Copies of this chain bind each other. A is one copy, B any other.
């Protein structure tokens, strides 16, 4: 910066254009291209601040006449490279380029800034979307050269470092972590007062290392009730360098949220046990995810954790008891920044964990995270319904005018629990099902085997290598959705969910009193050698779960005063695996134009990653968390009505115009003598206590 004017005698103005942005301005001769770019709002990356150390601020000075831009540019129109610059560029294999901090304008220049030198790097959001995000991490590294300690000058080493950071990076009013201060003196002297400083939120020095150091990593974690998924990101490039997931060990203390809350209520050390369990899992993830790329957990200098409200309460060691009963009071709705070392999470010793804010007692940071990933609140016209299906479903509806959110207690049926032959999505799980409406015989596909079951070669005479890679072991969530929908479309079950008594004699259907079951896989197709059935209880469980979800959606639509939604986004892992058509056919979600029903993948994880890479996303999350209007399903009288209507497949009364063709083929009503659904007794069990 002190090199703004290399030669004081220059006073003329020269034309400078930066490509690909095309920004142009008249710049005083003698200005460095880096400073010119900064003045013009063109971001060029620089870590060392013009000290010929980082080699990041590359530009290519174009040679030629650029008529479109009205400029004649030449590499000779800037000062020639010094020997040191030349050597650095050669070492980097970039001799076509110059370091913009080292070339001072002497004539008109058209300079191209290559992708890797653009400071505000953009990272592809994800495969399913073409949105991009700026990198603006909360933790960053800067290189500084600090004044040597001299007799008669008493600022202290920290004072000298503060001055260097203020002068070279305009970073002021910084704190320093006490643990960094402890070893500051030896670090400053290790490489002749040249250090790389890691700073959190431009507020606190969390690391000082000798010399020039690159590489800043952060960890985004989605703490689900069932699965904890971590993403290790390079905070400078935005790249996800490793992923790692494992079961949430709290499952030992309760499968679903309510049973964990109960455990915290009944066991006096319950909160502590579950807190320690999740911390242990996070430590394991941090260790494994870094080991994948030859890093250590202590290389993780920033972290963003998201989860539902029970998960974040337990993460922070807060007893979730208040979430177990009205008025469902959160300990805090606000985002929290907690030092990892205080929580016992072993990352870099100065790293903080940013926990995304919640919306209400049952809509947590995972939903906020999905929102900042999908940004439905930026929509001007369309009404967007976003549904994240888990043990609790989080539902949001709206656009930039107003946005509603709700939580609906779907229970774990969609995850394969409470299903007779249910299992998690693992090898052998049936995930796709088609049933012939004539023969009522089903075919299916299992995880780990490409071929449909009807193409399998079975029998003692089939050689080992021609057999399927996996036999059927059970039915996972997406399989359950499909088989029940197909059973409905094939007339095996009726709209009210009961088995069709007309099929009492069918080879694939068996009745035990009034309760039927359908054989999806034969003994030969099954790993255990016993057939795999879908039972009446399974159908009921799914009916209750989908009714809760549908009722939640309807509640928000009623509140927003919209008769139909324009788009539906299915967030979460489950939403990615199910066939959206089946979700709608079964009546999980209200009617919508089918191509406008899309899966967003792990939107909660994506949002956590974005908040990790761009600190503005954290501010946005806090704003959105406070702005969204939460609707309490538990106390809304119309919820029960919507719920009862939604037990039928796809619905007792709501029309599904976009599915009319398909639905026309299904048997719509039970034959005379059939009884109405018996869901009432169970429904009570599913509601919050």
Q: Does A185 contact B322, Cβ atoms closer than 8 Å? A: yes
Q: Does B152 contact A332, Cβ atoms closer than 8 Å? A: no
Q: Which residues of chain A (127-158) have a CB below 8 Å from chain B?
A: 149-158
Q: How far is the CA of A186 from the CA of B317 in the complex (A)?
A: 13
Q: How far is the CA of A609 from the CA of B158 in the complex (A)?
A: 26
Known A-B contacts A149-B327, A154-B360; A159 and B333 likewise in contact (beta carbons under 8 Å)? yes
Q: Does A327 contact B159, Cβ atoms closer than 8 Å? A: no
Q: How far is the CA of A361 from the CA of B157 in the complex (A)?
A: 11
Q: Does B359 contact A181, Cβ atoms closer than 8 Å? A: no
Minimum Cβ distance to chain B for residue A629 (Å): 10
Q: How far is the CA of A178 from the CA of B335 in the complex (A)?
A: 12
- Which residues of chain B have C-beta atoms less than 8 A from A322's C-beta? 149, 157, 185
- Which residues of chain B have C-beta atoms less than 8 A from A334's C-beta? 156, 158-159
| A635 (CB) vs chain B CBs: closest residue | B151
Q: How far is the CA of A239 from the CA of B445 in the complex (A)?
A: 80
Interface centre among A176, A328, A334 (most CB of B within 10 A): A334
Q: How far is the CA of A322 from the CA of B154 in the complex (A)?
A: 13
Q: How far is the CA of A360 from the CA of B157 in the complex (A)?
A: 11
A602 part of interface (Cβ distance < 8 Å) = no
- Which residues of chain B have C-beta atoms less than 8 A from A156's C-beta? 329-334, 358
Q: How far is the CA of A630 from the CA of B327 in the complex (A)?
A: 62
Name the contact of A159 in the complex, choosing from B149, B178, B332, B361 (C-beta under 8 A): B332
Q: Does A329 contact B185, Cβ atoms closer than 8 Å? A: yes
Known A-B contacts A186-B319, A316-B178; A157 and B630 likewise in contact (beta carbons under 8 Å)? no
Minimum Cβ distance to chain B for residue A430 (Å): 40
Q: Mark A355-371, 1 if CB is under 8 A from B, else 0.
A: 00011110000000000
Q: How far is the CA of A322 from the CA of B334 in the complex (A)?
A: 44
Q: How far is the CA of A635 from the CA of B153 in the complex (A)?
A: 13
Q: Does A157 contact B330, Cβ atoms closer than 8 Å? A: yes
A184 part of interface (Cβ distance < 8 Å) = yes
- Which residues of chain B have C-beta atoms less than 8 A from A342's C-beta? 178
A402 part of interface (Cβ distance < 8 Å) = no
Name the contact of A157 in the complex, choosing from B150, B155, B321, B332 (C-beta under 8 A): B332
A88 part of interface (Cβ distance < 8 Å) = no
- Report copies per complex: 2
Q: How many residues of A contact B (CB 8 A)?
A: 45
A338 part of interface (Cβ distance < 8 Å) = yes
A326 part of interface (Cβ distance < 8 Å) = yes
Q: How far is the CA of A322 from the CA of B187 in the complex (A)?
A: 12
Q: Does B182 contact A316, Cβ atoms closer than 8 Å? A: yes
- Which residues of chain B have C-beta atoms less than 8 A from A417's C-beta? none
A663 part of interface (Cβ distance < 8 Å) = no
Q: Does B155 contact A318, Cβ atoms closer than 8 Å? A: no
| A175 (CB) vs chain B CBs: closest residue | B337
- Which residues of chain B have C-beta atoms less than 8 A from A359's C-beta? 154
Q: Does A328 contact B151, Cβ atoms closer than 8 Å? A: yes
A336 part of interface (Cβ distance < 8 Å) = yes
A579 part of interface (Cβ distance < 8 Å) = no
Name the contact of A152 in the complex, choosing from B151, B152, B632 (C-beta under 8 A): B632
Q: Mark A168-190, 1 if CB is under 8 A from B, else 0.
A: 00000000101001111110000
Q: How far is the CA of A331 from the CA of B317 in the complex (A)?
A: 36
Q: Does B331 contact A185, Cβ atoms closer than 8 Å? A: yes
- Which residues of chain B have C-beta atoms less than 8 A from A358's C-beta? 156
Q: How far is the CA of A635 from the CA of B151 in the complex (A)?
A: 9
- Which residues of chain B have C-beta atoms less than 8 A from A184's C-beta? 318, 331-332
Minimum Cβ distance to chain B for residue A358 (Å): 7
Minimum Cβ distance to chain B for residue A201 (Å): 13
| A330 (CB) vs chain B CBs: closest residue | B156
Minimum Cβ distance to chain B for residue A520 (Å): 43
| A271 (CB) vs chain B CBs: closest residue | B182
Q: Does B155 contact A327, Cβ atoms closer than 8 Å? A: no
Interface centre among A156, A176, A334, A338 (most CB of B within 10 A): A156
- Which residues of chain B have C-beta atoms less than 8 A from A153's C-beta? 327
Q: How far is the CA of A152 from the CA of B406 in the complex (A)?
A: 11
Q: How far is the CA of A149 from the CA of B333 in the complex (A)?
A: 13
Q: Does B331 contact A154, Cβ atoms closer than 8 Å? A: no
Q: Does B182 contact A318, Cβ atoms closer than 8 Å? A: yes
Minimum Cβ distance to chain B for residue A282 (Å): 16
Q: How far is the CA of A342 from the CA of B350 in the complex (A)?
A: 12
Q: Which residues of chain A (336-351) have a CB below 8 Å from chain B?
A: 336, 338, 342-343
Minimum Cβ distance to chain B for residue A47 (Å): 25
Minimum Cβ distance to chain B for residue A150 (Å): 5
User: What are 16 A-B interface contacts by the 8 Å CB criterion?
Assistant: A149-B322, A151-B326, A151-B327, A154-B359, A154-B360, A156-B332, A156-B358, A157-B322, A157-B329, A157-B330, A159-B332, A159-B334, A178-B316, A181-B336, A182-B317, A182-B331
**Besides the known contacts A157-B330, A158-B334, A178-B343, 16 further A-B residue pairs in the complex with CB atoms under 8 A apart:** A152-B632, A152-B635, A155-B333, A156-B332, A156-B358, A157-B322, A158-B331, A158-B332, A159-B332, A178-B316, A178-B336, A178-B342, A182-B318, A185-B318, A185-B319, A185-B322
CB within 8 Å of B: which residues of A?
149-159, 176, 178, 181-186, 316-319, 321-322, 326-334, 336, 338, 342-343, 358-361, 630, 632, 635
The 4 nearest A-B residue pairs measured at CB = A156-B333, A149-B329, A156-B330, A158-B332
